[in-house]
Structure 1
Amino acid sequence: MSSTWLTALFFGVVALVIAVRHYRQGQADTLLDDHARRRTNGEADRHLSEWREAHRRLRDGDVEGLRTLERIGQEKSRLRQDIVTSICAGLRGGVDLGVDEEWRRTLQDALVRHLRPGTQFWAGMSLQFESATLVDFDVTGCRIRAAKFSRAEFLGTTRFDAVTVTGDAEFDEARFGRRVSFDDALFARSASFRGTKFTGNATFDAMRVTDEVTFSHSRFSGRATFPRAEFAEAAHFRRVRFGGRAYFTGTVFGKDAVFDGSWFRGRTDVNDALFADGASFEGTRFGRRVPPLAEDSRG
């Protein structure tokens, strides 16, 4: 094949790639326009253009795009969940997609600003962070409708202190790279940490779960402390591996507490826990001697 044909073929492929990209971008813009029309009940094209342009700028890491979306959300409550979802999408990449620290903190600050009760609070927002990579994630004092963090990877220090989740919370198979705290957190429905890995210390001081909670098949490499935690319904700790100290001092189990097949390798305190119903430790292993449960704590 002559060089002329090779050159023509090369430029033909390049032109095709460019055309496909333009086509896909056009499809994306059309979807944004249609979506905006539905959400804004057919308001002026100026608002549709502003909505689309703000999302473009947000995707490009432009803070002005973020500020425009926040302003739109303040004015139009029906658009708020879409804006929160867009912010979540910007955060989901973490360090893997090259999100720089300043931009990441800007997005997270905006998220917290609208999830924490105050003058800019947006009620009823849900978080979608499945399979996300999050760095130094902190939603202390926030109020969330539903939290989806299954298979997420948390780098740095993570804080869910005093958070309120009114719907279901999912952390299944998530991985916490360093310290994580759920102190004073309230889960109004179920909370699931099935298969979750806690590499650093994990604290659940005074955490409350009003529905079923599960930590089955989870791994705690560091210290795990549940002082004064309250589990109103069944609590599942089947086949959990506690590599460090595990303290349940003053923990209240309102229904069945199941620790079957778990392994406590470090110092353990379950003697001061209150078991209002049944407590099962079948096949549980203890690396250190554990004081027997008090008579009034047994199920």
Structure 2
Amino acid sequence: MLIAISVGLLLVAVFSWHRLAALALRIQIVPLLLVIAAAACAAAAGKVYRRTRPQQESHSAPPIRWWWAVLAFTAVGAAVWISTALLMPQTDGIRPNLERTKQRIDVVRTSLAAGAGVGAAVTVLLAFRRQHHHEKATEQTEHDATERRITELYTQAVEQLGSSQAPVRLGGLYALERLGQTAPTHRQTIVDVICAYLRMPYTPPTDSVPTGQSLPAKLYHAAQAARALPHRKANAERRQELQVRMTAQRILAAHLHDKRPQEEQELVTPNERFWEGSRIDLNHATLIDFDFRNCHMAQADFRDATFPGSALFKDATFDDLANFTSSAFDGSAVFTKSTFKGSARFADSTFKNGGAWFREATFDDEAVFMYATFDDIASFKDATFNGDTLFAGARVTRLVPPLSNEMGLSHEWPPGWTVSPAPGGGGTLQEVDTQQHEEP
């Protein structure tokens, strides 16, 4: 197209140009061409922007449409035409004719230079477009490579968790922890995997040996030793699995531990090891000597969980639902100074061998302890209840629990609730009828 424009301008330079230029100026075509050229450039720039904005996810630049090329060529032609129309009439008064011809040739060169300048601008836009897409493609390629590497590491770690060897399973847990620390977007998935591992059925180890029958001494000891071998092997495997499970519990606790005071959690940036916003799903899990002190969870599901040994939730924070329905605490259940921002559900739960400690706990929503069983001391001293307090049907197996005699403590119930003694011992919690205590 530039060659055709050049040939046409050379022919005009040789023949009379002023008549055509005067006609163009008379009909005010120059302002019209300026508007057209500006519109063409604006449309071209807008098209380049739309095709190179961040929403574009293609790895390669999209093809240039034909009309985009037409606009670019139109802009070049308009630049040449306008330059010629403005400069060529200035040569009409030059004498002799040879000198006028030379000046017109210079005008043609100037016009072609103007067209080349517009073409260079279009070329720069195309180069910018190509470079932008190249950078986006490189960024996408690096992102895909990172995701593939994360997927491979994640797959290997999960495969290690399925190994029959305890050391391999431990390696899988630490690999998941390292992956979660370096890839924040995958932390919830890793938490879910660790929780799923803890939800797998498990029987804690025991040192008991099967009892032998009435046999002569030598035969009895031989039979006892033979029976003890498989038991010892199974017990050793349980001890190894116990170490793996304790490690899984420690990993969760380490990355849910929030060192910030509760009154500063909205203002202070958390520690980099804290996995903020994690949701815990440990329903039906067996959690031995569980230690979640100072842990901060978005949501927690401990339905039907079993806690052999102590369960420590002191200073813990639950942002949403904390569901301990039908859970069994076979040791001290310590929720002292814990904060339940959502519903706290302990319905049908069992507390024994250590007591249920909810001293200075804060319940911002409902506190549900309906049909719960307290086999030892229960203390709700100085607890704050901002929602409904539901203890109907909760049962106390002993009015004087063991810790009452050992430490001089007694049951401390939420305001408005008291124990109604049962004929066979123990009692049931009932809401106090405040109307009976009103003065006439």
- TM-score normalised by the chain length of structure 1: 0.69
Alignment partner of 1:153 out of 306, 323, 333: 306
Separation in 2, partners of 1:189, 1:87: 24
Q: Which residue of 2 aligns with 1:29?
A: none
Assess, with a 3 A threshold, how the Cα gap between structure 1 residues 215 and 228 changes in structure 2: closer, same or farther.
Answer: same
Kept after mapping to 1: 8 A contact 2:324/2:345 = yes
SS in 1 for 2:203: coil
How big is the shift at 1:96? 2.4
Unaligned runs of 5+ in 2: 1-141, 205-237, 259-270, 401-409
Aligned: 1:248 with 2:412: yes
Q: Which residue of 2 aligns with 1:166?
A: 319
Identify the structure with the greater strand proportion: 1
Give every structure 1 segment of 4 or more consecutive aligned residues whose post-TM-superposition deviation is greater than 6 Å.
258-262, 292-296
Alignment partner of 1:66 out of 169, 173, 176: 173
Kept after mapping to 2: 8 A contact 1:242/1:263 = no
Q: Which residue of 2 aligns with 1:238?
A: 392
Alignment partner of 1:137 out of 290, 305, 316: 290
Superposed counterparts of 1:68-217, under 5 Å: 68-93=175-200, 95-96=202-203, 98=238, 100-117=241-258, 118-200=271-353, 201-217=355-371
Aligned: 1:57 with 2:164: no
Alignment partner of 1:225 out of 370, 375, 379: 379
- TM-score normalised by the chain length of structure 2: 0.48
Kept after mapping to 1: 8 A contact 2:374/2:395 = yes
Separation in 2, partners of 1:108, 1:202: 21
The two structures, once aligned, show a CA RMSD in angstroms of 3.3
2:308 corresponds to which letter in structure 1? L
Superposed counterparts of 1:36-47, under 5 Å: 42-43=144-145, 45-47=148-150
Separation in 2, partners of 1:164, 1:220: 23
Assess, with a 3 A threshold, how the Cα gap between structure 1 residues 199 and 260 changes in structure 2: closer, same or farther.
Answer: closer
Unaligned runs of 5+ in 1: 1-39, 271-278, 283-291
Assess, with a 3 A threshold, how the Cα gap between structure 1 residues 224 and 94 changes in structure 2: closer, same or farther.
Answer: farther
1:202 corresponds to which letter in structure 2? A
Kept after mapping to 2: 8 A contact 1:94/1:135 = no
Separation in 1, partners of 2:388, 2:294: 26
Separation in 1, partners of 2:422, 2:253: 37
How big is the shift at 1:261? 7.5
Identify the structure with the greater helix proportion: 2
SS in 2 for 1:247: coil
Larger CA Rg, structure 1 vs 2: 2
Kept after mapping to 1: 8 A contact 2:395/2:427 = no
Q: How many residues align?
A: 235
SS in 2 for 1:183: coil
Does 113-122 or 79-88 show the bigger shift? 113-122
Assess, with a 3 A threshold, how the Cα gap between structure 1 residues 48 and 217 changes in structure 2: closer, same or farther.
Answer: same
> Per-residue CA shift, 1:42-71, capped at 9, x if unaligned?
445443222200111133342222222222
Kept after mapping to 1: 8 A contact 2:396/2:427 = no
> Per-residue CA shift, 1:189-229, capped at 9, x if unaligned?
11001111112211111111100111001111111111111
